[in-house]
C-alpha cells in the first residue's frame, strides 16, 4: 500500500469518527439511563431562542411531546432541521409539541447562535439551551440528533433515531412518527428504541478532586 493510499484512508477515517450508524435494536439496549415506560425527567426554566424560559410542566395540555437533542455544530443534526420542522407541522395540530434542546458548550452552539438560526430558517419549534447539560444526562442522550417521545402520562414511549436513513429521500421507516401514531391512539410504540445517528454530544469532562 503506497503513501497516497494510506493518507486517503486516514482522511476517510478521521472524517467518520463523529458519525455513528448502527442497526435497529430492541428497547433498552442502547440507553443506559432510561427504559421504555420510565417517567420522563422534567426540565425547568431552560432559556429558549424566543427569549423565554421553558419547562416540561408548561406542556401539560399536550397529548405527547417529542424531545430532540440537537445542535448546530453537527452536520447530521443540521440536515435534520427541516425534518424536525416538518414533524412539528404534521403533529402540532394533533396535540403534539416538538421541543429541541442543545447542550454543547461551544461557540457554534451558543444560545445566541441558536437564536440567529431559528430566525434565519424560521423554525417554529421551541429551541432551548441547557448550559449545565443536565437534561441530556438525565435522558442518557449520546448523539445529535436524538429523539424521545413522551406519552400523555409523560412516560418514555420511544427513544432513538427519527428514521432509518440519513438521506431524507431514502427513508423507509419513520420511527418517531410510528411511535406518535401509536401513542395518540393509546397503543405502545411498535419499536421502543433505535440507536440514533449523528455526532456525539460534547459533554464536559468532569474531573475528580484530589484529597
Look at domain 32-200 and name its CATH class: alpha beta
Q: How confident is the model at residue 206 (pLDDT cuts 50, 70, 90)?
A: confident
| Burial bucket for residue 162 (CB in 10 Å: 0-12, 13-18, 19+) | buried
pLDDT per residue as tens digits for the range 104-140: 999 999 999 999 999 999 999 999 999 999 999 999 9
- Reading phi first (left if > 0) and then psi (alpha if -120 to 50, else beta), residue 93 is in alpha
Full-prediction pTM beyond 0.95? no
Amino acid at each position: 500500500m503506497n503513501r497516497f493510499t494510506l493518507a486517503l484512508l486516514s482522511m476517510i477515517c478521521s472524517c467518520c469518527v463523529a458519525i455513528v450508524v448502527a442497526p435497529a435494536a430492541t428497547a433498552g439496549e442502547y440507553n443506559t439511563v432510561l427504559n421504555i415506560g420510565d417517567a420522563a425527567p422534567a426540565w425547568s426554566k431552560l432559556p429558549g431562542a424566543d427569549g423565554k424560559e421553558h419547562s416540561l410542566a408548561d406542556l401539560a395540555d399536550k397529548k405527547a411531546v417529542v424531545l430532540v437533542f440537537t445542535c448546530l455544530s453537527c452536520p447530521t443534526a443540521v440536515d435534520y432541521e427541516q425534518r424536525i420542522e416538518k414533524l412539528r407541522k404534521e403533529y402540532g395540530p394533533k396535540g403534539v409539541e416538538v421541543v429541541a434542546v442543545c447542550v454543547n458548550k461551544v461557540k457554534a452552539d451558543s444560545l445566541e447562535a441558536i437564536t440567529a438560526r431559528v430566525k434565519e430558517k424560521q423554525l417554529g419549534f421551541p429551541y432551548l439551551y441547557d448550559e449545565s447539560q443536565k437534561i441530556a444526562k438525565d435522558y442518557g442522550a449520546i448523539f445529535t440528533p436524538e429523539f424521545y417521545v413522551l406519552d400523555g402520562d409523560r412516560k418514555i414511549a420511544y427513544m432513538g433515531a427519527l428514521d432509518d436513513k440519513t438521506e431524507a429521500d431514502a427513508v423507509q421507516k419513520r420511527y418517531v412518527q410510528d411511535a406518535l401514531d401509536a401513542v395518540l391512539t393509546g397503543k405502545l410504540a411498535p419499536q421502543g428504541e433505535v440507536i440514533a445517528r449523528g455526532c456525539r454530544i460534547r459533554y464536559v469532562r468532569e474531573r475528580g478532586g484530589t484529597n
